[in-house]
Chains A and B, each alone.
Chain A
Amino acid sequence: MGAFDWTVIIKNMPFFMKGLLTTFELAVVAISGGLFFGMLVGMARLSHIKLIYYLATIFVNFFRSLPLLLVIFWFYFLVPIIAGRPLGDFVSASVAFVVFEAAYFAEIVRAGIQSISKGQEQAAYSTGFTYAQTMRYIILPQAMRNMVPSLITQTVVVFQDTSLAYVIGLKEFLRSASIVDAREMKSLEIYAFVGLVYFIFCFLMSRFSQKLEAKRGAAK
């Protein structure tokens, strides 16, 4: 058992911070890329063109039925083959996260668009807007506002998910911690610290989302 030795955390702080930075970088890439493609796929899910609708639906259901871990492995093997040369774990992990999270963001975007009343769309068309203009100026700005709470929740999920990049050896926060643990043999302190850091970020974000939701509820 023995006394806790927290100096191990302080001693290795620069290394932890480097890992945390990688985690943040991966999270930013995953969220922005996932949201961008998710928006396209979400709109495609509501397309009147059968082919686009089916392709988008298959994409979403396919990735939602797979564990993220497998998708990470998939792209880990696939990316070097497609690119023809090894591109490093960060690139493979980024591609995997963007594709995987796009499927989840697409469902949020679809629900957001569907929450806007049909009249808005028809009104936009009747003033002569094209489909792209209607989406860009009328539907998406309103839908985005409705989506904000779910988007923040998903952001928290993505932030937690980045820890899975551990499996392909990417030196993100958790992998850095396990490297330190292998050297220092202080599992309890190290993993408690890792859990605490994740907890603080996720807790603050989910509180923020709840606040926003409460505010919107009050405004209605």
Chain B
Amino acid sequence: MLSYDFNWSVIWTEPYGTWMLQGIWTTICLGFISWCIALTLGIIIGTMRITPWKPLRIFATAYTEFFRDIPLLVQLFFWYFAAPSILPGFIERFLYRELPNFEFWVVVVGLSLYTSSRVAEQVRSGMQSIPTDQYYAALSTGFTHLQTYRYIITPLAIRIMIPPLTTECLTVFKNTSLAMTVGVLETTFMSQQIEAYTFRGIEATTAASLAYMVITLMVVLIMGLIEKRLSVPGLITRRR
């Protein structure tokens, strides 16, 4: 039992150290781009779920249910292996052969669509937690629906939504690890590649774990700062 000689030097000897750093950078880019898109889409879809116009509501509900109830990995495989074959032949060829970093962008699409449905759910519950009085007050001052959402409801709701959105943001960065299955050279992929070259699975996986923990911690700190910056004194207190 436990007859295993640790050899931690594989993490920083060349070229493995550089691989690891490149992987971490890819993870950060992937997570950041996907998060920005997911947040934008999620806010739009989440708002659509509570509009008075029924077709929009039905569309948004179908959207969230659809992307939430299929595992992310299956979605990524669908976007990577299956979806390009629906497109006309020349686009398919362009995607697979000429577009640099095709895998990367596939994951950006898959991850942001998946995450946007989760963000939409948080946005919906955040919006619904705003008292309807606010809404009526805005309408009675002559605001249109769009203006009411733009200037009254959304700014208030965003502050309530920040804690659950922080969790979602962490989930995005953790979910970027699935990108390895379609061949994106991110942290997990690199750690497994180091394993393949050195047979040092535990050390490489531990290094990757540490990297994710640091990224997670950074996200928590940044979101904490944003929360502090945005907080309206006396208006909305942190729910504990």
Contacts and interface: CB of A to CB of B under 8 A. Distances in A.
A195 B78 CA distance: 8
Contact of A1 (B66, B83, B86, B191): B86
B191 A73 contact: yes
Contacts of B4: 81
A198 B69 contact: yes
Interface in A131-170: 156, 160-161, 163-164, 166-167
B212 interface: yes
B99 interface: no
Contacts of A167: 180-181
Interface stretch (B155-163, B201-209, B226-234): B201-209
A65 B178 CA distance: 15
B185 to A, nearest CB: 15
A178 interface: yes
A194 B71 CA distance: 10
A77 interface: yes
Nearest to B72: A160
A52 to B, nearest CB: 23
Could you say which interface size class chain A belongs to? Answer: 35 or more
B88 interface: yes
Interface string B74-90: 11011001110110110
Contacts of B176: 67
Contacts of B1: 82-84
Given A74-B209, A174-B77, A199-B70, A164 B178 contact: yes
A188 B81 CA distance: 7
A84 B1 CA distance: 5
B85 A74 contact: no
A163 B69 contact: no
B86 A188 contact: yes
Contact of B201 (A77, A192, A195): A77
Interface of A is mostly: helix
B39 to A, nearest CB: 20
A130 interface: no
B175 A73 contact: no
Given A1-B89, A73-B188, A178-B77, A202 B82 contact: no
Q: Which range holds the interface residue count of chain B?
A: 35 or more
B188 A66 contact: no
Given A1-B89, A77-B202, A192-B78, A70 B209 contact: yes
Interface string B32-74: 0000000000000000000000000000000001101111111
A97 B212 CA distance: 19
Interface string A198-220: 11001100100000000000000
A97 B181 CA distance: 19
B216 A198 contact: no
A82 B4 CA distance: 9
Interface string A78-90: 1001111000000
Contacts of B70: 160, 195, 198-199, 202
A115 B174 CA distance: 29
A66 B71 contact: no
Given A67-B188, A164-B178, A77 B2 contact: no
B71 A161 contact: yes
A166 B181 contact: yes
Contact of A195 (B75, B175, B217): B75
B174 A181 contact: no
A70 B74 contact: no
B202 A74 contact: yes
Contacts of A202: 68-70
Contacts of B175: 67
A82 B3 CA distance: 8
A122 interface: no
9 contacts: A1-B89, A67-B174, A82-B2, A163-B74, A167-B180, A191-B74, A195-B75, A198-B70, A199-B69
Given A181-B81, A203-B69, 18 more contacts: A65-B216, A69-B180, A70-B188, A74-B205, A77-B201, A81-B202, A83-B1, A84-B3, A160-B70, A160-B71, A163-B73, A174-B71, A178-B77, A187-B77, A188-B83, A191-B81, A195-B74, A202-B68
